[in-house]
Amino acid sequence: MLKVKEGELNAGWVDEFSNVFQGVLAGNGIGVIDFNLVFRVKEGGLSANWVDESSNVILGLLSGNRIGVLTHDLHFFVKEGALNASWVG
């Protein structure tokens, strides 16, 4: 289970996603790779909706307004801007 807290160190934990292989945080973004190798991202508050970004992912990265994924077949793709932007790679 990926748990995240926002605000002070003594803030309560929020359950974000279960069956997580990897979790990443950057700014107001949260990303998870589940055990089916699907990379999902949400931006904004902890209750924002998840957006499926890519499948067959073994590494997910968030940095500023960029999202990067390394796929199981070792191809690297990146997108910049909105969560629904096109992948480049």
23, 14 contact by CB (below 8 A): no
Class of domain 18-80: mainly beta
Tokens describing residue 5: 């807290």
pTM, 2 dp: 0.90
Q: Does residue 81 carry a pLDDT above 90?
A: yes
Residue boundaries of the structural domains of the chain:
18-80
% residues pLDDT > 90 (the chain): 91
Mean pLDDT over 61-86 rounds to 95
Give strand ranges (E) for the chain.
Answer: 2-4, 14-17, 20-26, 29-34, 39-43, 51-54, 57-63, 66-71, 76-80
pLDDT of residue 89: 85
29-57 confidence digits (pLDDT tens): 999 999 999 999 999 999 999 999 999 99
Residue with tokens 């796929």: 71
Tokens describing residue 62: 């968030």
The CA distances from residue 54 to 8, 14, 58, 73, 81, in Å, are 32, 24, 10, 13, 16
Amino acid at position 70, single letter: L
Mean pLDDT over 71-85 rounds to 95
pLDDT band at 83 (very low <50, low <70, confident <90, very high): very high
